[in-house]
Amino acid sequence: MTTHFRLVFTTCSNAAEARELAEHLITHKLAACVNVLPTVESIYMWEGELAHATESKLLIKTKSEKMNEVIQTIKKLHSYEIPEIQVVDIATGNLAYFNWMDEVLN
């Protein structure tokens, strides 16, 4: 089974920003569900230096036809200069859940 659903990953500077972004995506019907993992530790290179940050991770469930708007919304509302936006195709899963996503996102 091939689906037309996508899972988008992003991080936010804190849980409040993550919730605000999640609620915007849901209320504007850009995502059916957003999981907020309130605390993740991130280690990365930034401007030539090793950086450590405590962030919040979002797992955004949406449809492929909404991807451009989801990406633009993240870029517009995000506090980071270069926000993480990674998109994963959802190949298969629970058909009942996908039907629910279709209902919510129409």
At residue 63, the 3 state secondary structure works out as strand
Structural domains in the chain, sorted by start:
5-105 (3.30.70.120)
Report which of 90, 105, 84, 63 is spatially closest to residue 11, judged by C-alpha positions: 84
Confidence of residue 3 (pLDDT cuts 50, 70, 90): confident
Tell me the whole-structure pTM to 2 decimals: 0.94
The CA–CA distances, whole Å, from 4 to 24, 55, 105 equal: 22, 29, 12
Each residue's pLDDT tens digit, 23-82: 999 999 999 999 999 999 999 999 999 999 999 999 999 999 999 999 999 999 999 999
